[in-house]
Amino acid sequence: MRCDWVHGYWVHWQWVRCEKGFGMSVNAWIVVGDQPAIGNLITVARSLGGDGTIAAVVAGPRAVAETVAASGVDRVVWCGTPDGSPAEASAPAVAEAVAADPPRVVLGGRNPGDRVLLGAAAAALHAAVLTGARSVTVGADTVTVVNAVYGDISDETVEISGPVALLLDGGSVPAASGAGVPIEEVTATPYGVKVLETIPSEFEEVDLNAAQRVIGVGRGLKAKEDLSLIEALAAALKAEIACSRPVAEGLNWMGKDRYIGSSGARISPQLYLAVGISGQLQHMVGVTGAETIVAINSDPNAAVFAQTDYGLVGDLYELVAEITSVLK
């Protein structure tokens, strides 16, 4: 049994149970775009059991293929980098590689490019697609997935006969292990997609999963300038600042990697402090794993209070300033 971070939960992976005994071969493919952040995918693939191989197909730069080749996988196929093309342009090569050696399970991470590659592989295999896997058990003829659905309000146990594509949190960049495997280069006619321009974000990138304490800002905050109040609290708490979806998309006060929720980041910090957040299901599903949840909201009927350890009904400006001064 092992413990892994999957879909916002620490879960016990215990599926190294080959129902027909040892020697069963469970082949898995991992699809990789231009980021080698696939540590969790490797852990999951390895846990599938048997003596099957883990192969990775990389549609990003050679450096990504090199990182993946040194990560402990059994095989690496690299699609090359067609001139000036994004990873998505290599979807045909990815689909071809996966279909040429069909797996029981194909895994991909959640970033936009990886999703496209996983979709191409799934279509080529006519595979089932699941996006909320909490655990996977591989049997002789079927794969059983406990899959969180509808904003994680229900867990469905799904039995699949045939190939299955799983979209999972990619995890961190895997550490080098051993001598690595050779990189096999393949080619296929890429799609006609070219990058004309790349514009760096005005916002600093953040890994919310690395933070022990996180403050979530919602639309209760009236103006972007008022973020300085939150920044002061974050400094006093040694916390990262995150937000609800509209604050990053729409208001554009922060980078998209800072919004929490069913389609954003899912975090499990020691402390989550929701400031001016109403507590919609789509947001709160991203913090169900938090050890302690605190909410500050002026509306006593806000849904957030039903999902917290400590609730403070009142003016967030006043309360945040007071908490900051107590911490100092």
Partner 1 sequence: MKIVVAYKWTSDPEEATVGADGVVNWSRARPGISTYDPVAIEVARGLAAATSAELIGVTVGAKGVGTPLAAKAALSRGLDRAVIVEDDSLKGAGQAELAAVVAAVVRRIGDVDLVITGDSSVDVAAKMVPTVLAGELGWPAVAEVTDVTGQPGALRVGRAVPGGAQVLEISGPAVLATSADATTPHVPGMKDLLAAGKKPVEHVDLAALDVPASSAVMTITGRARPARKERKHQLLDTSDPAEAAAELVKALREVGAL
Restricted to residues 265-294, the positions that interact with partner 1 (CB under 8 A) are 270-271, 280-282, 288-294
Q: Shortest Cβ distance from residue 180 to partner 1 (Å)?
A: 26
- Residue 152 contacts partner 1 per CB under 8 A: yes
CB of 28 to partner 1, least distance (A): 15
CB atoms within 10 A of CB 178: 8
Q: Does 144 bind partner 1 (CB under 8 A)?
A: yes
DSSP per residue, 206-246 = --GGG-SEEEEE-TTS--GGGHHHHHHHHHHHT-EEEE-HH
Q: Return the number of the residue (101 or 309) whose C-beta is nearest partner 1.
A: 309
CB neighbourhood size of 194 (10 A): 12
DSSP state for residue 151 in the 8-state scheme: T
Tokens of 206: 């953040």
Sign of dihedral through CA atoms 284, 41, 170, 240? positive
CB-nearer residue toward partner 1: 30 or 122: 122
Q: Residues 180, 206, 245, CA angle at the centre, nearest 5°?
A: 125
Interaction residues for partner 1, span 12-41 (CB under 8 A) = 35
User: Could you tell me the smallest distance in angstroms from the CB atom of residue 194 to partner 1?
Assistant: 5
Contact between 313 and partner 1 per CB under 8 A = yes
- Residue 193 interacting with partner 1 (CB under 8 A): yes
**From residue 46 to residue 65, what is the string marking binding to partner 1 with x (rule CB under 8 A)?**
--------------------
* Rounded CA separation 39/170 (Å): 6
Is residue 124 a contact residue for partner 1 (CB under 8 A)?
A: yes
Nearer to partner 1, 97 or 124 (CB): 124
- Considering only CA atoms, which of 249, 239, 324, 235 is closest in space to residue 283? 249
Min dist CB 55 to partner 1, Å, is 19
| Tokens 């699941």 found at | 130
Distance of alpha carbon 218 from alpha carbon 190, whole angstroms = 42
User: Judged by CB under 8 A, which of 28, 57, 65, 89 binds partner 1?
Assistant: 89
Closer residue to partner 1 (CB): 195 or 210: 195
Backbone torsions φ then ψ of 268, nearest 5 degrees:
-135, 60
Residue 140 interacting with partner 1 (CB under 8 A): no
Among 172, 188, 191, 226, interactor with partner 1 by CB under 8 A: 191
262 binds partner 1 (CB under 8 A): yes
